[in-house]
Amino acid sequence: MILLTTPPPTTTDDFTASLRTLLAQAITLKPDTVTADGVFPALNKLTLNLTDCLPLDHPTIRWSDGATGGAVGQFTVTDFQLRGQPFGDATRPIEIDASARLCRGEFIPADNGKTALRIAAATDGQLRVSVTKAAVEAIALAEANKAAAAQGVQVKEVQVTWQSQGPRSLSLEIQVKAKKGFFPTAAVRVRGRLDVDGSLVARLSALSVEGEGMVGNLAAGLIRPKLLQAEGMNKSLLALPLDALKVTGVTLVASPDRLTVEGQFEG
């Protein structure tokens, strides 16, 4: 459940304004990010258009795992659409496409007098998230430089390759070229495995790192503690909790230049 920062809505305008306020805690917004058709609480259509919106570096959105009572209100949406074509900036775009029918949401009392929004039902839910290899490399380059900058090491290039190991698994190899001061550029190679389970939770395992030359070994030494922290780490690929809904039919499709995760949800 997601905690509201406004009172439970009573009109369509209130509802769209409340959703915009929630989303603004996690992403930048466009004028058409939230649109709704129909009279609240029985909406004909709800569309979240995340195209060209950017994730915030420090999101403030809050979640609640518990409730203090029954629903104090609810709403229905006949047709729900979520689009991000793409979501994110030009160097790290992610394509998101989700839809569902006959959705129902509930407003639940939460701790500290707050109200939480809960997804209670949906049918025919479809989810597709896709990212290019170039975007993965850009993300990896930015994160590697964050880790290495304190030691005066500059990561110059990141190359990622992957190979499918089954319907929800793939092997990864990341080659990093790094430089320190006047020393020549050296290479670091990271290997690992990525698995996505039936609940859209990703897990990294079998992580290892090797460096070439003095600079490469130094960079590998900086990266290795991060890998130890990431080994076995689980991270949900969902930006929002599905609450009462269940995910089925999850697949991870790996082509040479793109990764795509697909699944269905309902409940």
pTM: 0.85
**Helix (H, G, I), strand (E, B), or coil: what is residue 208?**
strand
- DSSP for 106-139, please give it: EEEE-GGG-EEEEEEEEEEEEEEEEEEHHHHHHH
Alpha-carbon distance of 205 to 146, in angstroms, equals 22
Per-residue confidence (pLDDT) for residue 66, from 0 to 100: 66
108: alpha, beta or left, given left = phi > 0 and alpha = psi -120 to 50? beta
Q: Taking Cα atoms as reference points, which of 64, 71, 54, 55 lies closest to residue 1?
A: 64
At 6, the pLDDT band (50, 70, 90 cuts) reads confident
Question: How many residues does the structure list for the chain?
Answer: 267
Per-residue confidence (pLDDT) for residue 195, from 0 to 100: 94
pLDDT digits (tens, 9 = 90+) for 205-225: 999 989 887 777 877 887 788
**Helix (H, G, I), strand (E, B), or coil: what is residue 29?**
coil
pLDDT of 75 over the 70 cut:
yes
